[in-house]
Structure 1
Amino acid sequence: MATQQSLQNFSEEDVAKHGTEESLWIVIDGGVYDLTSFQNEHPGGKKILKRVAGKDASKMFWKYHNAGILKKYTPKLQIGAIGSAAPVVQEKEADAPAAPVAVVESSTAKELFEQYGDMVPFADPNWYQGYSTAYLNASHVALRDEVRAWVDAEIEPFVGEWDEKKEVPAEIYKEMGRRGYLAGALGVHYPVEYTDIRPKCVAPEQWDHFHEMILTDEITRAGSGGLVWNLLGGYGIGAPPVVKFATPETKQRVLPGLLAGDKRICLCITEPDAGSDVANLTTSAKLTPDGKHYIVNGEKKWITNGIWADYFTVAVRTGGEGMSGVSLLLLEKTMPGLNVRRMDCSGVWSSGTTYVTFEDVKVPVENLIGKENQGFKVIMTNFNHERLGIIIQATRFSRVCYEESMKYAHKRRTFGKRLIDHPVIRAKLANMAIKIEATYNWLENMVFQTCSMSEQEAMYRLGGAIAGLKAQSTQTFEFCAREAAQIFGGLSYSRGGQGGKVERLYREVRAYAIPGGSEEIMLDLAVRQSLRVHQALGAKL
């Protein structure tokens, strides 16, 4: 993709002539920036800028800022570059989709794609870096390139601001719909029957679980759990039950708006006294004497996206105790008696975590999702998709912690040498890398299995393994966040700046270790479920 504006070449002498408050230029990594009109906006004030006016400010800039700040202001402030240096511009020629360079002939099909990204070892999956893959094809590469270009230009530079404001602009969510990303994030086929929107670089009939994995992974690379949950969290777990189990009339009425990004949805299962213990939830739904409505009373807690949702996929008790008395209903924001309030949490600030209350909410029986008293089965079909999403995010966040640490270790000097030259730092990075790669390779295999099995078979055979992988991914995330914080030192304890991503992600570890099934429950389920399946398959114990 070509650059959006023509940038001039300057000499250092040219820049030196602009060292006053009336005309203030600086150089950062070879790029020339005119900060004359920016002085009053600079968070550190004019004085800091005056110190570097007309000079190369690279060292001072990187002392206080991360790459996201440069990405954010480059389109507004860059006017050129020093000499023939390649200018740091807002869009790169390399943003065009990479084409496959070879297909290795073998009895097992393998693809080999061009090198992509910054080529920091282990900072991206190795198929980005010129290694072969047996799972992916050119359509996956094209989607990766498309999503990364969008995230780099329109999302990553702003996530810190959005996090502080506790909200992602509605336009970003709407763009997810326009690009076809929402329709591809349901853990099912691409639902062409409910939308005319099509992905730009992937035919709907080609769309598979790897495309969804890549979409989630590249958005997660921005380094904000609040962002990912805002765009994919409530939607990715609230909408699939509607797609799979709602009545045809409900689907036709609800899904087009959801897939386009015009409407939003959330999943309401967790209650103040019923988190992982779904079978014992207490929110009630009682039929009216005429049998035309359910009257819903109760409350739900920690509901992602609830403050913005138009629709609420709600687990209710319609029968007796235990799982056999649970049903699922679709409630709507306009229904009297449904109230929401924002919750303040440790992390994922821009995700819209919500406390939802139901006071005599009147719901048409046509809004039943699935069959009455069989909602627990519907909920169970949702778990593999939800947990895989968490695994993808936790694994990429681990990479973000690692990549930020690796790059910082090459800049920061202590005791007369760079951090990367200290064996103890290299050991930290190595331990992060081996955990990340082990987790990612298991993830790829699980996604491949979901592509190879029916949904019913995958739910039965993969539930245990995915539960175990969910625990492994969040433990890896916690380890990498801690090690990254140690490498960044005090910079990881203050919001913003070079350690901003690490600080934010460290706060968000628990938001991944607990939702979707806590690590303790996942580890127990991994063994129990896998044993049950393999005993049925003939395991000799």
Structure 2
Amino acid sequence: MATSTAPLRPIARDEVAKHNKPGDIWVVVDSIVYDLSKFAAMHPGGEAVLLDEDIAGKDTTTVFFGLHRHEVLLRPQYARLRIGQIQGEKQRIRTPQPGDLSRVPYGEPTWLNPAFKTPYYNDSHRRLQAEFRKFVDEVILPDALVKEDNGKAPSKEVEQAMADKLVNHMRLGPGKHLHGLVLMGGVKGEEFDFFHEMIVTQELARMPTRGYSSGLGTGVFLGLSPVMNFAKEPLRSRVIDEVLTGKKVMCLAITEAFAGSDVAGMKCRATRSADGKYWTINGTKKWITAGRYADYILLACKTYNGDGPDGQVTTFLVERSEGLETKPIPTTYSAAAGTAYVTFDNVKVPAENQIGPEGRGLYIIFSNFNHERWYMCCAVSRGARQIVQECLLWAAQRDVFGKPLLAQPVIRQKLAGMIAKTEAMQSWVENVTYQMCNMDYALQAKHLAGPISFLKMQITHWTGEITDEAVQIFGGRGLTKTGMGKYIEHYQRTRKFDAVLGGAEEVLGDLGVRQAMKFMPDDQRL
């Protein structure tokens, strides 16, 4: 329960009622008595608002929670205004604690509800979820809220804490890199599966800091995976160690102003030196997440004068060096994402930094697309659930026309559609995740490219509809960057990233149908 830092004296409601004049204003919020006499002059709405007949000297719990989030009461400057507690009463509003599960209906996926059974999760998944959520709430979220606002990169302390807790290892997904390790929740590396990875992804996605979250370690599973699978030694071991231990930050650079979903249309080029010892890279990349502060860039570009066919895509690991420049790109995301425009002006890259065979860059890039898109589905579906929770809480505590918003049939209808879509998302994600746990890479590439494409297309489309409905439920507050609807505004402002990144909805829909066409039987007719 929310508590004050010092014992509060009991106060009768009759005594509170006497303090309802200019310069002498008391109010009650959730049984706690606040003296607003001196604060009134600093109140954003002015003293006149506090002197309203329904506020000064009254129990303003309903009024307060129709205007302010609970977190306001926990701020030190407001906590100091507490002078007592209504005699014989206790607080009813619970202060969430780090690691808590939501008790709001549909605030958690069903597998976290003890009343529901699941074929997918076991005790190791529950232990990981419990410990990792507490870690996110206590270590990452405070930094995320600050950096999302000021646009700076995640702090080195958080990045190091994540490395120390082997979070970077887990974000790479299941594999031999985890063998012999004991992960959070006591999970053995050998038992870590895609459901464990989904838990890590979805717990991070709970944070209402989408720019910060996007820039926090996404280079690990986007850029490091190709290095782990295709780089040669000793480069492979050195880079893996530096990134996983938090010493270096990595990003993936594919997109250009010239080539977005059309990956093969890129113009950035690498030319091999006459002695074959290095490559010279020239060109640009655009909208590169974490590019502003990355130490390593996993780069895809066209190669020329090499042993392979000219103009084919090849991948390289590029370290920050002379001729490499990154500039911030302002987007609807927070600048904490580190979104950058990257220029390569005669950047020299050692031949051993070539990742995989020359001309096989598209294969290397595409080999990670399923995993990248699946990750986005996990994250976006969890973000949608956060929106539903915000709307349910708001509709329950906001009074209009003398009744809670939830009493309005039109609001219940909107919530019904939002909840149904959110539950459908999670069920589909879990089904695909189960297939990933039971297919090797070759089978995943053959059978899951289409379903994952459809999954991402539908999830981002539904999330767009959910955020639109959320704005309608919150009204003007859903368009305001502070206050009750700040997270709704945040998701509404940033949701189009999901519909574009990793493949635009239209491109993925077409890809899914083309994948289905490969399996159309010749012997079937209407």
TM-score by length of 1: 0.84
Which amino acid is the alignment partner of residue 342 of structure 1?
P
SS in 1 for 2:298: strand
Paired residue for 1:332?
Answer: 319
Q: Alignment partner for residue 165 of structure 1, among 150, 172, 195?
A: 150
Paired residue for 1:235?
Answer: 220
Paired residue for 2:368?
Answer: 382
- 2: CA distance, partners of 1:539 / 1:35: 80
Which amino acid is the alignment partner of residue 112 of structure 2?
Y
Q: CA deviation at 1:125?
A: 0.8
Q: CA deviation at 1:452?
A: 0.8
Paired residue for 1:404?
Answer: 390
Paired residue for 1:371?
Answer: 357
SS in 2 for 1:184: helix
Paired residue for 1:106?
Answer: none
* Map 1:10-29 → 2, pairs under 5 A: 10-13=9-12, 28-29=29-30
Paired residue for 2:255?
Answer: 270
8 Å Cα contact 2:303/2:310 also seen in 1 = no
Which amino acid is the alignment partner of residue 44 of structure 1?
P
Residues 530 and 258 (structure 1), Cα distance of their counterparts in 2 relative to 1, 3 Å cut: same
Q: Alignment partner for residue 405 of structure 2, among 395, 407, 419?
A: 419
Paired residue for 2:466?
Answer: 480
Residues 49 and 187 (structure 1), Cα distance of their counterparts in 2 relative to 1, 3 Å cut: farther
Paired residue for 1:301?
Answer: 286
Gaps of 5+ in 2: none
The yes-or-no answer on 1:186 pairing with 2:186 is: no
The yes-or-no answer on 1:85 pairing with 2:90 is: yes
Residues 6 and 491 (structure 1), Cα distance of their counterparts in 2 relative to 1, 3 Å cut: closer
- 2: CA distance, partners of 1:229 / 1:175: 18
The yes-or-no answer on 1:65 pairing with 2:49 is: no
Give the RMSD, CA atoms, in angstroms.
3.7
Paired residue for 1:428?
Answer: 414
Paired residue for 2:108?
Answer: 124
SS in 2 for 1:132: coil
8 Å Cα contact 1:72/1:158 also seen in 2 = no
Higher mean C-alpha deviation, range 505-514 or range 120-129: 120-129
Aligned residues: 514
Which amino acid is the alignment partner of residue 241 of structure 1?
P
Residues 86-121 of structure 1: per-residue CA shift (max 9 Å, x gap): 6878774x948xxxxxxxxxxxxxxxxxxx421x22
Which amino acid is the alignment partner of residue 149 of structure 1?
K
Higher mean C-alpha deviation, range 132-141 or range 322-331: 322-331
Q: Alignment partner for residue 501 of structure 2, among 512, 515, 526?
A: 515
Q: CA deviation at 1:161?
A: 4.2
8 Å Cα contact 2:467/2:488 also seen in 1 = yes
SS in 2 for 1:64: coil
Paired residue for 1:251?
Answer: 236
Which amino acid is the alignment partner of residue 317 of structure 2?
L
Residues 422 and 278 (structure 1), Cα distance of their counterparts in 2 relative to 1, 3 Å cut: same
Q: CA deviation at 1:308?
A: 1.2
Q: CA deviation at 1:223?
A: 2.2
8 Å Cα contact 2:154/2:216 also seen in 1 = no
Residues 190 and 499 (structure 1), Cα distance of their counterparts in 2 relative to 1, 3 Å cut: farther
Paired residue for 1:207?
Answer: 192
Residues 178-215 of structure 1: per-residue CA shift (max 9 Å, x gap): 2221110013426247x978435322222211111111
Residues 25 and 529 (structure 1), Cα distance of their counterparts in 2 relative to 1, 3 Å cut: farther
Identity of aligned residues (%): 34
Paired residue for 2:136?
Answer: 151
Residues 198 and 153 (structure 1), Cα distance of their counterparts in 2 relative to 1, 3 Å cut: closer
Paired residue for 1:454?
Answer: 440
Q: CA deviation at 1:423?
A: 0.9
SS in 2 for 1:282: coil
- 2: CA distance, partners of 1:455 / 1:42: 61
SS in 1 for 2:66: helix
8 Å Cα contact 2:154/2:212 also seen in 1 = no
Gaps of 5+ in 1: 97-115
- 2: CA distance, partners of 1:43 / 1:139: 49
- 2: CA distance, partners of 1:344 / 1:45: 32
8 Å Cα contact 1:4/1:91 also seen in 2 = no
Q: CA deviation at 1:248?
A: 2.7
Q: Alignment partner for residue 330 of structure 2, among 336, 344, 356?
A: 344
Q: CA deviation at 1:426?
A: 0.6
- 1: CA distance, partners of 2:77 / 2:124: 31
8 Å Cα contact 1:74/1:89 also seen in 2 = no
- 2: CA distance, partners of 1:73 / 1:322: 65
Paired residue for 1:111?
Answer: none
- 1: CA distance, partners of 2:399 / 2:94: 28
Q: CA deviation at 1:62?
A: 2.5
Which amino acid is the alignment partner of residue 285 of structure 1?
A
SS in 2 for 1:270: coil
8 Å Cα contact 1:461/1:530 also seen in 2 = no
Paired residue for 2:44?
Answer: 44
8 Å Cα contact 1:75/1:90 also seen in 2 = no
Q: CA deviation at 1:40?
A: 11
Paired residue for 1:102?
Answer: none
Residues 444-493 of structure 1: per-residue CA shift (max 9 Å, x gap): 01111111111222122100000000001100110000000000001011
- 2: CA distance, partners of 1:41 / 1:299: 54
8 Å Cα contact 1:283/1:296 also seen in 2 = yes
8 Å Cα contact 2:278/2:348 also seen in 1 = yes
* Map 1:461-540 → 2, pairs under 5 A: 461-532=447-518, 534-535=519-520, 540=524
Q: CA deviation at 1:11?
A: 2.5
Which amino acid is the alignment partner of residue 117 of structure 1?
S
Residues 22 and 431 (structure 1), Cα distance of their counterparts in 2 relative to 1, 3 Å cut: same
Computing the radius of gyration over CA atoms, which structure comes out larger, 1 or 2?
A: 2
Q: CA deviation at 1:156?
A: 4.7
